[in-house]
Structure 1
């Protein structure tokens, strides 16, 4: 079964996610922004989701983790939890 390692930032609004994405593009550290802004419990680990397998995340996030290019900031992506920015480090 495939496995991947990813991190994310979860916020309430698309505008907030878009602003954070701009800050990331300008060179701010993902883990620092995740700790400060993310609503997910993963914020304590700088947004690190650890190793995930297909089906562990909601469908929209799963699609990014297992189908989109690596080491790119994807999003904002809307789910029932809010808006996500997702970065995938590797997948096997």
Structure 2
């Protein structure tokens, strides 16, 4: 069974996600921005979600985690929880 490791930043608007993505593209640290801006409890861990297996996340999020390239920020991605920026850093 595949396993992935990912971080995310969860915010309420697409505009906020776009602004954070620009900051990430300029070199700001993902974990630092997650701690400051995400409203997910994972913010305490810099947005780290730990091990993710298929079926644990909502489908749009899971599609990014298991299908998009590693070590790139993906999103903004809309789910019923809000707007995500996702960084997948390990997949097996």
User: Under TM normalisation by the shorter chain, which class is it?
Assistant: over 0.9
Corresponding residue number in structure 2 for 1:67: 67
Normalization by structure 2: what TM-score? 0.99
CA distance in 1, matches of 2:90, 2:46: 17
Gaps of 5+ in 1: none
Deviations 1:36-82 (A, max 9, x none): 00010000000000111011111111000000000000000000010
Instruction: Tell me by how many angstroms 1:90 deviates.
Output: 1.2
Q: CA RMSD in A?
A: 0.4
* Aligned equivalents of 2:2, 2:15: Cα separation in 1: 33
What is the CA–CA distance in structure 1 between the aligned matches of 2:61 and 2:89, rounded to whole Å? 14
Q: Secondary structure at the match of 1:31?
A: helix
